[in-house]
Amino acid sequence: MSTLPVIAAVDGSDDSLRALDWAVDAARGRGAPLRVAHVRQYTAWTRPGVLAEGPPEPDDSVLDEVRARLTDLPGVPETEYLALEGAPGALVPELGAIAQLLVLGSRGRGGFAGLLLGSNGMAAARDAECPVVVVPRPGREVHGDLPQEPGPRVVAGLQVDGPDDATLAFAFTEAALRGARLQVVAAYAWPLPTWAVSGEVVTLLADQDAAEAETRTLAEGRLAPHRARHPEVRAEVTVLPGDAAGNLVAASRDAELVVVGRHRRRLLAPARMLGSVTHAVLLHATSPVAVVPPAAANG
């Protein structure tokens, strides 16, 4: 059975070339082939949203630039080049059907200069069937500080009351491949909300230590089967009060990767959604971000 490739979507921008370098390392670490795809904006005779593979055209300067770049890199995996015609926002997510991992930059050549995440990155993270890694531009600033010990580190977000095993499985595998420590961040709401009853504001009285302890207990239980499968990975739970997205962004500083899940489809909301936490992490994390589709529905 052939190994699915790691696919890097490129458009010639600096962002996509940074993503290409990340994809080369990922393919090498997985022992997987590399596939480099360039989607050219569809012409009048092509139907947008139709994935049709074909050999690269001789005049594809973007793929020519990639070939030249990879020629100078040592240990590049077996590489295939794809030139595609169509709407990038539709075709890039479709590449996930033939990949084990889809990698792209946070922004491409198009779009508005002030955008933190381009439309193709957003669409791929939301719609692709495989995990999607978005590589950010350098220079993002993180507010807040979580002291970290030195060494390689992968960060994973964990919602203890609704975890997805696919996210944790991907995070453990990435940490194992990189020989990295896995930091699992579990946030709990604090301070607790207030509400009005008969015109009076009522504050919930609770013990913060108890809330933290309960969150940690739940998190450790979620991690137990993954630890058993990956005894070589040192996995630690960081339990923090407040906003999950803010805590994950703070943890992204100097991390090799932040792993977050994508929302499951629900009966009353069948469309694929990123979720507010995942969206915020994609916009603000300083490290590459992997968005993992749910295991059960695969999207």
186 vs 221: CA distance, rounded Å: 12
pLDDT in tens, 94-135: 999 999 999 999 865 544 444 445 677 888 999 999 999 999
CB 105 within 8 A of CB 135: yes
H/E stretch holding 188 reads strand 181-188
Ranges of H-type helices in the chain: 14-30, 61-71, 88-94, 119-127, 165-178, 208-229, 244-251, 276-284
CA-based torsion, 48, 292, 32, 12: positive or negative: positive
Query: How many other β-carbons are positioned within 10 Å of the β-carbon of residue 72?
Result: 7
The full set of domains in the chain, from first to last, is 6-135 (3.40.50.620), 153-292 (3.40.50.12370)
pLDDT at position 260: 96
pLDDT at position 276: 86
43 vs 39: CA distance, rounded Å: 12
On the CB side of 255, CA atoms within 13 Å amount to: 32
Least confident residue range of 13-27, 81-95, 112-126, 197-211: 197-211
121 vs 177: CA distance, rounded Å: 24
Q: What does DSSP say about strands 194-197 and 181-188: parallel, antiparallel, or unpaired? A: unpaired
pLDDT in tens, 218-255: 999 999 999 999 999 999 999 999 889 999 999 999 99
